[in-house]
Amino acid sequence: MRDFLIFLVVLAVVFFAVGETRGWYIGIPSQTPVFVYKRTAVGQATRRTINRESLPVRLTGRVRHGTVSVKIEYRKPSSFQTGAGAGPDRMLFDQTYTQGQAVGINQDFEAGTGDYTVVMEFKDATGLFRLRLPTASQL
């Protein structure tokens, strides 16, 4: 038991030392919660809607340090059936959250069928964030 406790203490020291010098970015947006500790990074998730005209986006979390920018972009894909080219990117949502603010997005973004991309840009940020998007079978 004592060896296990020593292992946990050593692991905590390593976690703290690496976190203070480089920061941590752990998680995959829309699949797992994203834990960010003093890190500048970008996380994104893309979904293509085929049968729906909108994409429901649920993002929760609290910015403990730094800033978090959330952008939701839409693009009409090219069509091999009609030969139509891809449409330009359209910004549907752009908001920046700073230290102490809660991130709470619970909204359906309606732009038609196509590619929706949720981009989370962390700048020296610390916090735990959870992005919920429908699965591909629901779109």
CATH value at residue 118: 2.60.120
Which run of H or E residues covers position 18?
helix 2-21
CA 84 to chain centroid: 30
Whole-angstrom CA distances from 72 to 40, 59, 64, 79, 116 are 19, 11, 22, 22, 7
**Is 107 within the bounds of a domain?**
yes
What is the residue-averaged pLDDT of the chain?
84
136 three-class SS = helix
pTM (2 d.p.): 0.79
pLDDT interval class at 6 (50, 70, 90): confident
> Domain limits at 35?
25-138
Percent of the chain with pLDDT over 70: 79
Say how many domains are in the chain. Answer: 1
Tens digits of residue pLDDT in 29-80: 888 888 888 888 899 999 988 888 889 999 999 999 999 999 999 998 876 6
pLDDT, residue 130, reads 94
**Is 32 within the bounds of a domain?**
yes
Tens digits of residue pLDDT in 18-28: 555 556 667 78
15 vs 45: CA distance, rounded Å: 27
